[in-house]
Amino acid sequence: MELPTSVAALLIAAFAILPGVPGERIYTMLVGWDWREDKWWRTLRLLAFSLVGLSVYAIAAPVLSAPMPVYISPRAMELLRTNQVGQLAVAFLGHVVCAAFTGVAAGYAEKLVALLTARSEYSNAWDHFVNLSAKKQWVTVGLANGQVYAGYIDKADMSVAAAERDMILREPRLFDEKDRAFRVTRNKSMFLLGSTIVAVSVVRDLREFGKEAPNAGKEER
């Protein structure tokens, strides 16, 4: 089965980029992704993870008696036969797995460098705040309408523009201006639009804001 040169070129381009996607995904899960980052840098990382993964697989393949990644050769792609598709699929899967491990290694290497240099491994302050500062801590959330809620961050969109940082607040309590205390609400969880959030802070104890609410621990009626 011979492929036209243009189709072979497209397949080679896909094989060069696609294997880097899992590695990039894992890497950003570990260290976050800066929404202000130029898209070309992300593309370069995809290619880097793919190329390193390809190199690792090419070295390991002879040892494991695995098929070589012949799809990197235009000539080989043009001469590809039906009975070779299975071997090509195995090689591609091995390439993807090695690229994914490259992403894991890069992510933990970034964390190690951050630890040694006493800086954050996350690319922006918001990701650092959600993952480290506010994890399992009481937070207060000020809204544009003047309301202030307290609770635990159950989920927060990260690595996005400020207006898109939607949040799910668990065990929300509403600040009562009159009594200067947080009161339990009927809600188990609350979804807050990023565009309505003005400020978020971590507190040690809600009583720092005033006296303890009369109905603390009880459902408001």
Q: Is residue 184 part of a domain?
A: yes
Q: Is residue 220 part of a domain?
A: no
Q: Is residue 103 part of a domain?
A: yes
Q: Is residue 221 part of a domain?
A: no
Residue 141 belongs to domain with CATH number: 2.30.30.100
Domain stop point among 64, 83, 116 = 116
Exposure of 68 in the CB half-sphere (CA atoms within 13 A) = 8
User: By residue range, what is the domain housing residue 144?
Assistant: 125-209
Burial of 197 (0-12, 13-18, 19+ CB in 10 A): buried
Say whether both 62 and 94 belong to one domain.
Answer: yes
Say whether both 141 and 162 belong to one domain.
Answer: yes
Say whether both 33 and 105 belong to one domain.
Answer: yes
Using DSSP's 3-state secondary structure scheme, residue 14 falls into helix
Q: Is residue 219 part of a domain?
A: no
Say whether both 65 and 139 belong to one domain.
Answer: no
Query: Of 23, 29, 24, nearest to 39 (Cα)?
Result: 24
The count of domains in the chain is 2
Q: Which two tokens stand for residue 12?
A: 């080679």
pLDDT tens digits for 6-60? 665 666 667 778 888 999 989 888 887 776 777 778 888 888 999 999 999 999 9
pLDDT tens digits for 7-21? 656 666 677 788 889
> Would you write out the chain's pLDDT as a tens digit for each of its 221 residues?
444 456 656 666 677 788 889 999 898 888 877 767 777 788 888 889 999 999 999 999 988 888 887 766 666 555 566 666 778 788 889 999 999 999 999 989 988 887 787 677 777 788 888 888 888 889 999 999 999 999 999 999 887 888 889 999 999 999 988 888 888 888 899 999 999 999 999 987 766 554 444 444 444 33
Say whether both 110 and 146 belong to one domain.
Answer: no
Using DSSP's 3-state secondary structure scheme, residue 201 falls into strand
- Distance, CA of 133 to CA of 37 (rounded, Å): 23
Q: Is residue 187 part of a domain?
A: yes
Say whether both 112 and 21 belong to one domain.
Answer: yes
